[in-house]
Amino acid sequence: MVVSDTAEKIKKMEIRGAGRIARAAVAALMDHAASATARDAASFRNEMREAAALLQGTRPTAVSLPNAIHRVMRSLEGDTPTVQELRDHFIVACRNFISSSEAAIERIGAIGAGHIQEGDTLLTHCNSEAALACLIAAQRKGISFEVYATEVRPGNQGLLTLKTLNEARIPTIYIVDSAVRSVMREVDRVIVGADAVTVNGAVVNKIGTSQIALAAHERKVSMMVAAETYKFAPRTILGEFIRIEERGPEEVLPAALAKKLPYVRVKNPVFDVTPPEYIDLIVTEEGAIPPQMAYIILRDYLGWSTGDFGGNSPGATENFDV
Ligand code: RUB
C-alpha cells in the first residue's frame, strides 16, 4: 500500500492497535522501498526517511510504531554500494520484523494461556490482539472460562473484541465501561494489551485501563498485561514521558450538539497510564515478568542503555539518521 494511504488509515484509526499499526507501517515502508525511484544509495535513504517520518507522525502514543520504524531503518546504515542491494537488505529487514511480530503474538498467547485457570472469569478492555491471543490459546488448550468485555467509549473497539471472542466460541459478557467496578467482584483476572511500557513498568493503554486496574487492585484481582517487547519505550530510560494522544471532540460529542452548548468543552485523551503498583504481570514473548523488570527487558533483551541517546545516536526513536 502507498505510504500516504497507510498513514491516513492509521490517523483515522482504520488501522489501529499498537501491533497492527507497527506491522502496517513496516509493510508500507517495504512497498515504498520496492517501488522507490532513487538512483543512488543516498537518495534512496532520503526517500525512505521521508516515508518513515510521514508514518511516524500519525499517532503519538503507540511506541511500537517508532520502535518498528527504527528497527527497519537501521538496516540502511553502513556502506552498501548499490540501491538494489540497499533495497534488498531493507525488504528483508521489513519481512523479518513482520514475521517476528507475528511470532511474538503466538508466543505471548502460549505464555499468557498458562496464567488462565479452569473456571476463571476474566475482564478485558479495548481490542488487543496480544491479550486476545492469550484467551484464544487458553480456549484451544481446553480451559473453560468466561470474559467480560468493555464497550470502550468513544471508539467502540469492544465490538471488535466481541467478534473475535465470539468466533473463538468464548462465552462473553458485554458491559459498558462504567460497569467495571460493579462486576469486579466476579472477576479473577484482568487482561489487557499495551501501547507502551515505560522503564519503570508503567503501562500505557486505552483510556480507562488505569481505572480498571484501580478497581482490580481494590479487590486483589490479578492484573495481567500482554505486550510484545517492541512496545517497551527506550527513551523513558532518560525520564522522557510518553505523549498521550488527544483526539477530536466530535468523537465524543456530535458537532451539531456541541454547537448548541457554547459553554461546554470536550476533552478526549485516548490512552492513560497505569502505574506498576497496580500490575501483577507483563506477558512478553521473552516470558512473563513483574513490571519492575521492564528495565531488564530494555537493557538485556533490546540492548538499550542511557549511553545510546547522546547527540546523533541511532538510539533516538524519532531519529532516522542512517
Ligand atoms: C488500542 C489499544 C490496545 C493496544 C494493544 O487503542 O489501546 O489495547 O494498542 O493492542 P486504539 P495490540 O484502538 O486507539 O489504537 O495488542 O493489538 O497491539
Residue 317 has pLDDT above 50, yes or no: no
Give domain status of residue 309, yes or no.
Answer: no
User: Does 257 share its domain with 290?
Assistant: yes
pTM of the model: 0.94
Give domain status of residue 114, yes or no.
Answer: yes
Whether 191 lines ligand 1, by a CB cut-off of 6 Å, is no
Give the closest residue (by CA) to ligand 1 atom 10.
128
Q: Into how many domains does the chain fold?
A: 2
Work out which ligand 1 atom sits closest to the CA atom of 155.
13
Give domain status of residue 312, yes or no.
Answer: no
What distance in Å separates the CA atoms of residue 186 and residue 199, rounded to the nearest whole number?
32
Give domain status of residue 311, yes or no.
Answer: no
Give domain status of residue 310, yes or no.
Answer: no
> Which domain range does residue 166 map to?
107-301
Among 57, 87, 105, the domain boundary falls at: 105
Distances, alpha carbon 51 to alpha carbons 19, 20, 54, 210, 305, in Å? 19, 18, 5, 34, 28
CATH of the domain at 31: 1.20.120.420
240-268 average pLDDT score: 97
What is the structure's pLDDT at 310? 61
What is the structure's pLDDT at 314? 33
Residue 159 has pLDDT above 90, yes or no: yes
Between the CA of 128 and the centroid of ligand 1 the distance, in Å, is: 5
User: Does 148 share its domain with 261?
Assistant: yes
Residue 151 has pLDDT above 90, yes or no: yes
Q: Dump pLDDT digits (tens) for 16-52.
A: 999 999 999 999 999 999 999 999 999 999 999 999 9
Residue 15 has pLDDT above 60, yes or no: yes
27 with 69: CB under 8 angstroms? no
Helix (H, G, I), strand (E, B) or coil at 115: coil
User: Does 19 share its domain with 58?
Assistant: yes
Could you confirm whether 126 is annotated as catalytic?
yes
What is the structure's pLDDT at 313? 37
| Active-site residue, from 195, 300, 308, 321 | 195
Residue 284 has pLDDT above 70, yes or no: yes
User: Does 126 share its domain with 204?
Assistant: yes
**What values do phi and psi take at 184, rounded to 5?**
-60, -25
217-229 average pLDDT score: 98
211-226 average pLDDT score: 98
Residue 319 has pLDDT above 80, yes or no: no
| Active-site residue, from 126, 134, 272, 321 | 126
Between the CA of 131 and the centroid of ligand 1 the distance, in Å, is: 10
CATH of the domain at 222: 3.40.50.10470
Could you confirm whether 195 is annotated as catalytic?
yes
Whether 193 lines ligand 1, by a CB cut-off of 6 Å, is yes
User: Does 93 share its domain with 157?
Assistant: no
Give domain status of residue 244, yes or no.
Answer: yes
Q: For a pocket test of ligand 1, which of 14, 65, 157 has the largest count of ligand atoms closer than 8 A to its C-beta?
A: 157
Give domain status of residue 279, yes or no.
Answer: yes
What is the structure's pLDDT at 244? 97
- Helical pair 129-140 and 83-113, crossing angle rounded to 10 deg: 50
Q: Lay out the sheet containing 172-175: strands in order across.
A: 172-175, 146-150, 121-124, 189-192, 222-226, 281-284, 287-289
Whether 66 lines ligand 1, by a CB cut-off of 6 Å, is no
